[in-house]
């Protein structure tokens, strides 16, 4: 197999065996296409082979990424894709050694996730409640999806992929499929359940307008009864946040950040928040503790007479 065929074989493993989402596989493909473009130029031939790539060449690739002005976080992500590819090639006996095994990513700068303050959150929900009072599809749907995003800490992809049957009204919980298609059970607030029941008649009206018989029963639907797109969810949340919290400049994912930050601020256990968010590593969840500490420092500096 040539180098391109071996790369495609690896991406096929990510999609079929590891069952990564299409978005994740596309990100891996972009990162590895950058690597192949660099290697073609660096090695001076389009007929290079993976066996001819050594650790020095891969370090040169990282330097090339830095010269392009990419952030350390982006470079770390690209290196992760490279490591995965070379691990696969080595395990498949297509390479005698793995030159990427001992490579370390540049230390990423720590960025605190953006989130809404409690007052901004209240303003966003007040605006959503006013829209739902119109009792149309858009208003009731927007309130329902916002209650799920903030009340259960869902990712955009998790929310967008939900079916109505995934909501357990009796137990006040929802089954979601997260990254790597891993399922988890997440609590649902009573306000979210109320919003969903309010939205359900409008949803049924849209489902009745379907042009074809579709077996799936999506939770969030558009005017034609089809599954609501992720872009439409983003637009609905962005319109609310930009109106109610104009200076925040936040997105759908910021609602998830707000969910975690507000739980920790109220004294929730870090391990519990980790499970609710569906994080694999505790270190991923720990960034929210930095957010809470920064807020405490800010309050201290503003309030203490000798600060």
Active site residues: 155, 179, 253, 256, 279, 288
- Say if strands 167-168 and 183-187 run parallel, antiparallel, or are unpaired: unpaired
Q: What are the Cα distances from residue 85, in Å, to 58, 107, 223?
A: 12, 21, 43
Q: How far apart are CA 179 and CA 183, in angstroms?
A: 9
Indicate the helix (H) or strand (E) that contains 173. strand 173-177
Strand-by-strand arrangement of the 173-177 sheet: 167-168, 173-177, 183-187
Provide, for the chain, the percentages of residues in helix, strand and coil under a 3-state DSSP scheme, each rounded to the nearest 5.
60, 5, 35
Q: Which of 294, 291, 260 is nearest to 276 (CA)?
A: 260
8 Å CB contact between 88 and 13: yes
């Amino acid at each position: 197999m040539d180098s391109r065929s071996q790369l495609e074989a690896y991406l096929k493993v990510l999609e079929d065996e590891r069952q990564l989402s299409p978005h994740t596989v596309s990100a891996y493909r972009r990162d590895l296409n950058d690597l192949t473009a660099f290697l073609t130029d660096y090695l001076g031939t389009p007929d290079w082979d993976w066996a001819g790539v050594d650790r020095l060449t891969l370090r040169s690739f990282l330097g090339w990424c830095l010269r392009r002005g990419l952030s350390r976080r982006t470079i770390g992500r690209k290196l992760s894709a490279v490591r995965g590819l070379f691990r696969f090639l080595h395990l498949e006996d297509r390479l005698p050694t793995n030159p990427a095994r001992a490579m370390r990513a540049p230390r990423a700068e720590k960025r605190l996730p953006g989130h809404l303050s409690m007052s901004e959150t209240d303003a966003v929900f007040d605006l959503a409640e006013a829209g739902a009072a119109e009792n149309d599809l858009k208003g009731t749907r927007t309130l329902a999806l916002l209650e799920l995003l903030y009340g259960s800490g869902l990712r955009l992809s998790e929310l967008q992929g939900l079916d109505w049957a995934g909501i357990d009204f009796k137990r006040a919980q929802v089954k979601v499929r997260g990254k790597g298609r891993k399922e988890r059970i997440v609590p649902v607030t009573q306000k979210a359940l109320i919003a969903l029941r309010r939205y359900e008649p409008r949803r049924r009206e849209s489902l009745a307008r379907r042009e074809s018989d579709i077996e799936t029963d999506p939770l969030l639907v558009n005017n034609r009864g089809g599954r609501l797109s992720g872009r439409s969810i983003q637009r609905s949340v962005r319109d609310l946040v930009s109106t109610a919290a104009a200076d925040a400049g936040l997105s759908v994912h910021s609602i998830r950040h707000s969910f975690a930050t507000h739980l920790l601020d109220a004294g929730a256990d870090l391990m519990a928040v980790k499970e609710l968010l569906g994080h694999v590593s505790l270190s991923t969840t720990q960034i929210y503790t930095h957010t809470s500490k920064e807020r405490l420092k800010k309050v201290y500096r503003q309030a203490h007479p000798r600060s």
